[in-house]
Amino acid sequence: MRVAVLGMGNMGRAVATRLLGHGCEVTVWNRTPGKAAQVVEAGALEASTPGEAAKGAQAVLMSLADDRAVLEVVERLDEIGAGPGAPVLADMSTVSPDTSRRLRDTVPERRFLAVPIIAAPRTVTDGLAAGLLGGDRALVDDLEPLWRQLFCVHWYCGEDPGAATTFKLLNNYLLMSSVAVAAEVVGAAEAAGLDTGLLREVLDQWPTVPLAIRNRLDDMIGGDHRRGWFATWLGAKDVRLVAEVAEAHGLSLPIARLVERRYQETAERGWREADIAAAVELVRAERRHSAPGQG
């Protein structure tokens, strides 16, 4: 299968690497030159434009930072054409449901699918990722071999691509809120003078600690937050999108708005590109500010 992957962030590189390992012909593109070096070395071709990458592909997979980036790239894909031989455009980015629906209505003959991924990049590479698929069922079925190569399990979420995107946002909200609470747990333990080695051990065993954040405990307790893959500003963006979806249906999510502000403030204090585990630094900064003699 010939596949184009647009976007060479952590997730895009993982997707391309996984597909190369399963014999796909992969062409990649990234807005900033140089980020594709790893996958090119592994056998991918690098294109200079999104349209060039998509030429001749059966599927064009996008893995981009936000709604604006996705919409801008799709505007540059007007040359992919329509008809049975045209590629299916599948967006793996975390965007708003309305953006997914807009893309469906923009792409020729609605050859569009929302395919958000539930996984860390390393999990994708290892073949342990889960996928959410939304859009025309016939298009989903046509690309079933691709989904089997990418995911260990995947769910069809219905004809509305926005449903798949909404499921992804809900998943990310659970992750962001769990990390934000764990950051406060670590900060409170440090403030109380508890042994951090024992803290790490018990947090790894307690059933109240979600499995999804245990791989961030070392970084949260003693790391520099540079080795993660989920930037704080993206965490704030995802939680904001969750809140907006709920509010559009008349439901207020006050906790979500609080979690959004925590990541936004963490990003604004110099941790924008750091992993979401850096939320602990906001707790530490607040502790220093409130300490006696610190104002």
Task: Decide if 4 contacts 29 (C-beta within 8 A).
Answer: yes
Q: Each residue of 88-102: pLDDT tens digit?
A: 999 999 999 999 999
35 or 85, which is more confident: 35
Q: How confident is the prediction for the chain on average, in pLDDT?
A: 94
> φ and ψ at 4, to 5 degrees?
-105, 140
Domain containing 44 equals 2-159
Q: Each residue of 102-151: pLDDT tens digit?
A: 999 999 899 999 999 999 999 999 999 999 999 999 999 999 999 999 99
Identify whether 207 is part of a domain.
Answer: yes
What is the number of structural domains in the chain? 2
* Segments of 136-264 assigned E as strands: 153-156
The structure's pTM equals 0.94
Nearest to 88 by CA among 58, 64, 117: 58
Q: pLDDT-derived band of residue 84, with 50, 70 and 90 as boundaries?
A: low
What pLDDT score does 98 carry?
A: 98
Domain boundary among 159, 188, 204: 159
Identify whether 295 is part of a domain.
Answer: no
Query: Within this chain, do residues 129 and 181 fall inside the same structural domain, yes or no?
Result: no
The set of long-range contacts for 250-255, using a CB threshold of 8 Å and a minimum separation of 24, is 255/177
The DSSP symbol for 88 reads E
